[in-house]
Each structure stands twice: as structure tokens, then as C-alpha cells.
Amino acid sequence: MKHVITRKEDLNAADYLIDVVAPEVAKRFVPGNFCVLITVPNGERIPMSIQKVEDDKITLYIKRLGKTSRELDNWNVGDALHAVIGPLGTPPPIKKYGNVVFLSDLVCGHAENYAMCKELGKYEMNHITSVQSFPTAADVYPDGELCDTVCDKFILATEDGSRGVKGHYLDVMKEMLEAGEVDQVFAGGGIPPLETLSILTAKYNVPVYTTVRQIMVDATGMCGSCRVFIDGEQKLACIDGPMFDGHKVDWPSAISRLGMFKAKEAEALGCFNHKLNGGK
């Protein structure tokens, strides 16, 4: 199977999207699942959320971050990835919740926001609000790539107020919770705000599912790298998650584990840049 890239576009200066042929993933995908990309034989396995599925193709939103995401950014339409594995993970229940809000502030969260709002909206009794926050107007994704078309109410927020509502999604959420308008919250993106969100929603007794992104090595439950503690019990984000009840997550441990491979990541990026600049 050739995992050919059929579309590649910039979302903003830091994020880009690709459509890639992956029929096995596309056929079985449920929002809340993720996939793993391997760009070249023996290459790093990088977990990615899936924004949407169309026929045999999946759409991925990718941040230019370290070695692999930057290397892939140099690929073009027509190039083929070595492997796309999935769908992986255990999605939260997709059902009637009532007033649902999905919050996101980072590339992976924006992809999940789109997929989940679209799916939850299939239940007539759900009223779906999507909140997407970006640092500033220049970071906002182009029309057609925001969640406005898959929800009942869409709120765009920028932290400096240069477009939409001023503030982070946490500010928007606080107002909604105070107004007593929310039955269920979902959120993905940056990890530290998810801890704050979990504390906030607990105060109002509103349940929240959060995507606890952890460093994944195999993403098939074998290495233990992605372990998280839920209500004191060890779980694996790649098998049992990555979405968990935010009120039960041991956030300090989840946050500290994210820095585990910083030195190795910097080394890999250094080698990649060296090669890019003509080094051997």
C-alpha cells in the first residue's frame, strides 16, 4: 500500500496539513482514535490525531516541531510515507450528552475538536459548541479548516484579542460554566491548560474528557512510555486513552513525563539541521 500525500497546505506559520492515503485507518476511524506515521523505513513513529476522513484518505494537522515533523514538511504531493498505522486508542463514548463544549488551543486539539464535534453533532439531542483559541490573529487557521462548519455555536478566541473573543479557551469556559450552560466538556491541545481546566470544571461539577498526550514509543502498549495515572491506577495513553476523565488524571506526573526525551530530541533536530545545511 502506497501512503501517498494527496494534499499539503499551510495552516499558519507553524502548522501544516496533509491528506494521505490510508484506507485501513479511514475505514475504521472513530473520533478519539489517533494514528502513527512512519515516514521512512526504521524511522521514528510519530502519533498524530486525525481531523477527518474522506474516502480512503485521512487529514492530519502537523506542527513543525522537531526532526520528523520538519523533515516531512519538505515532502510534497505525490511522495509516499512508509507506513500509517491505526486507528489506535480507545475513544470516549460518542452519545447524547446535551450541551457539549469542545475546547482546543493547539494543532492536535484543533484536529480532535473538528472530528469530535462532527461526530457528536449526529445526535440530535446534543447542542455542540466549539471553542478554538490561538495566540494571535496571524495564527488562526484559514476558512474551511476551523470547526465553525461542524458545530451549532462557534467561538474563536485569540489571546491578544486581535481576532474574535479576547483570551484563552479557559476564559471562555469560565463564563460558560458560570452561566450554567454546560453538561459535558471535551478538550485537547496543550497539556498545562488541561490541568487548569480539570480543576475549573470540577469546581462546577461538570465532567470533562481531556486528551492526555504522552510520549509514545511503540503506541501499541508494549513499552510503558505513555503511562498515566488515573485515580491512582496506571493506564496506557496509547491503549486506554488518550482521552481520560480530566478529574481523575494525575496531572503533575503527566506533565513531568513530557520532558523525558528533550536531550535526544534536540540532538536529532541538530543532526537534521546540520544535514540540511550541507553537513555529512
Q: What is the DSSP string of 117-153?
A: HHHHTTSTT-EEEEEEEESSGGGSPPTTSSGGGGSSE
Judged by CB under 6 A, the residue of 12, 90, 162, 225 near ligand FES is: 225
The strand order across the sheet containing 83-88 reads 45-49, 34-38, 83-88
Residue 61 has φ and ψ, to the nearest 5°, of: -100, 125
Binding-site size for ligand FES (CB under 6 A) equals 12
Instruction: Classify the phi-psi angles of 247: left when phi > 0, otherwise alpha if psi is within -120 to 50, otherwise beta.
Output: alpha
Q: Is the dihedral of CA 232, 236, 240, 245 positive or negative?
A: positive
Q: How many C-beta atoms surround the C-beta of residue 136 within 10 A?
A: 13
245-264 residues in contact with ligand FAD (CB under 6 A) are: 258
Minimum CB distance to ligand FES smaller for 11 or for 216: 216
Q: Does 234 bind ligand FES (CB under 6 A)?
A: no
Site string for ligand FAD, 4-33 (x = CB under 6 A): ------------------------------
- The span from the CA of 137 to the CA of 21, in Å, is 32
Q: Does 226 bind ligand FES (CB under 6 A)?
A: yes
Taking the complex as a whole, the smallest distance from the CB of residue 190 to ligand FAD amounts, in Å, to 10
Judged by CB under 6 A, the residue of 39, 49, 113, 201 near ligand FAD is: 49
Taking the complex as a whole, the smallest distance from the CB of residue 202 to ligand FES amounts, in Å, to 27
Q: What is the DSSP string of 26-43?
A: HHH--BTBEEEEE-STTP
Judged by CB under 6 A, the residue of 147, 216, 243, 254 near ligand FES is: 216
Site string for ligand FAD, 64-103 (x = CB under 6 A): -xxxxx----------------------------------
Q: Which residue is nearest to ligand FAD (CB)?
A: 66
**219-230 core/surface letters (b: 16 or more CB in 10 A; e: else):** beeeeebbbbbb
CA 143 to chain CA centroid, Å, is 19
Overall residue count recorded for the chain in this entry: 280
What, of ligand FES, ligand FAD, none, does residue 235 touch, CB below 5 to 8 Å by kind? none
Residue 210 has φ and ψ, to the nearest 5°, of: -120, 145
Name the one residue in this structure whose C-alpha cell is 534536540: 266
Q: Does 238 bind ligand FES (CB under 6 A)?
A: yes
Judged by CB under 6 A, the residue of 222, 258, 266, 276 near ligand FES is: 222
Q: Does 212 bind ligand FES (CB under 6 A)?
A: no
Judged by CB under 6 A, the residue of 29, 242, 249, 257 near ligand FAD is: 242
- The span from the CA of 134 to the CA of 139, in Å, is 6
What, of ligand FES, ligand FAD, none, does residue 49 touch, CB below 5 to 8 Å by kind? ligand FAD
Residues that bind ligand FES in the complex, under the rule CB under 6 A: 216-219, 221-226, 236, 238
Which parts of this chain interact with ligand FAD (CB under 6 A)?
34, 44, 46-49, 61-63, 65-69, 107-108, 111, 213-216, 242, 258, 265, 269
